[in-house]
Every structure is written in C-alpha cells, then in structure tokens.
Amino acid sequence: MNIVILGAGTIGTSIARALCARHHNVCVVDQSKAALSELQDRLDVHTVCGNACDPVTLFQAGVASAELCLALTSSDEVNIVGASISCEMGTGRSVSRVHHPSYLDTTTFNIADHFGVSRLISLENLTALALAREIRVPGLLALENLAQGAVEIGEYQERPTVFTDDGVGEPLGGRERGCGGHRLAVGEAAGPRSVGVHRLPSDVAAAPESDDITARFNRYSR
C-alpha cells in the first residue's frame, strides 16, 4: 500500500516504522531537513521536504496514487487542510490528527465532512477513553469506541458458570452444565443505558433488555 505521512515527529516516525515493517511504501513529508535525514538513515522511506498543506509538496509526495494519507503534524489546521487536499488530488482515504476538542464536535459543524477528510482523531481523547475504561471496568479484555467515543463495545472473560439473566447466556446443547467463554457488551459510553450481546463457545448470541453496562460487567466478571 502507498501511504503518505505528513509530519516526521514522534507519532509520524513511529507509524512510519510500523508500516515499513509491514512492507508498505511510505513517504514522509516534513519541513525539517534534519528530521527527514535522520528518518532516512533508520528507515526505508521516501521523504519530501516542504509544507504539508502545499499542493506541490503533496504532489511530489505521491498523494495522487496513495491509498492513505496520515496527517500527523503539530498543527491541527495544517493536518486538516493537508488531508483535504490529498483526497482532492486522488488519495483514497485521509486521516487527520487534531489536538483541539472543538474539531471533534459535530453538533455545530462537521469539520471532517466539510473538508472531505475520512476521519479526525485525537490522541489525547483516545488516551482519556483508555484511562476511563481501565478505571471503570477493570479486567476488560478489549474495548472499542465508536461514534467519537459515544458507543462502546467491550469484551471480557466470563466465569465458567451459567448466567441466567432472563434466559440470556444459557448454553444450548447442555443446559445442565456451566460454560465459560467471552461476553461481548455493547452500550452507550455517554450514559448508563445499554444493550448487551453475549458470545458463548457454542456461538450462541442473545441480546438482553437494556441495562446498566457497568453493572453487567461487575456482576458477571467477579
């Protein structure tokens, strides 16, 4: 895959290293010749020195034939404009890092849609969500946040016993014996109401009534 990374900072360099390890074609754009020279000494990447939102620089970086553009500079505005121009010039998808939380708020204006950026991400927001997850639901195996963190999908290890909550979770083909496995719960991160979906070794899935997602985790993971 042809990938263009805007910004040769800590995040851009780390992602470039990971992508090179997976044999992707990576081009990194930055205004610092020293940063690009150091990057080329360590990684098998192409580099272009210039402004990340300059169409000429982006053309030289190959955005016209790139499948993905990752805008990861220290400037929100440069990231958004650079990602937007990249898509207009032919990049398949673009992801822009932003620091200011107002850019993620779509209630007043959707920045991503307006500029044609595939996704806006905030590392600060992702870190806060990860910390909140660990504090709220210890022992969680996995958690994905959707819709800018408004919806959560969490998975944890179920104890080896039958949990009968309105019939949800009872194993088929052997109701007399308990079962271990993983439980998948889906709920609204912004509020306590949620819907749970339980996955069992027999691939049986059932959805209970709305309930408090935290209470469910605490009840069945003890």
76 and 9 inside one domain: yes
Residues 116, 8 within the same domain: yes
* Number of domains making up the chain: 2
Domain final residue, candidates 76, 98, 121:
121
Q: Mind listing the pLDDT tens digit for each residue in 109-142?
A: 999 999 999 999 888 777 776 676 666 666 665 5
* pTM of the complete model: 0.63
Asked whether residue 69 falls in the same domain as residue 40, the answer is yes
> Could you tell me if 33 and 52 lie in one domain?
yes
Domain match, 24 and 95 both: yes
Whether 58 and 7 map to the same domain: the answer is yes
Mean pLDDT of 25-42: 95
Instruction: Point out the domain boundary residue: 85, 104, 121.
Output: 121
Angle subtended by helix axes 33-42 and 10-21, to nearest 10:
30
Q: Show which of 88, 104, 121 is a domain's final residue.
A: 121
Pairing state of beta strands 181-188 and 46-49? unpaired
Q: Is 7 found in the same domain as 67?
A: yes
Residues 60 and 163 in one domain: no
Same domain, 8 and 115: yes
- CA distances 131 to 2, 68, 137, 146, 202, Å, are 33, 29, 10, 16, 33
pLDDT tens-digit profile of 166-218?
444 444 344 333 344 444 444 444 333 333 443 333 333 333 444 455 555 45
Same domain, 110 and 162: no
Say if residue 75's pLDDT is above 90.
Answer: yes
Residue 67: give its domain's CATH number: 3.40.50.720
User: Which 3 state secondary structure label does DSSP give 147?
Assistant: coil
| 143-169 tens-digit pLDDT | 666 655 556 666 655 554 444 444 444
The answer on 98 and 136 residing in a single domain is no
Range of the domain at 42: 2-121
The pLDDT of residue 122 is: 86
Do both 113 and 137 map to the same domain?
Answer: no
Residues 6+ apart with CB under 8 A from 206: 167, 168, 169, 197, 198
Nearest to 67 by CA among 38, 41, 44, 87: 87
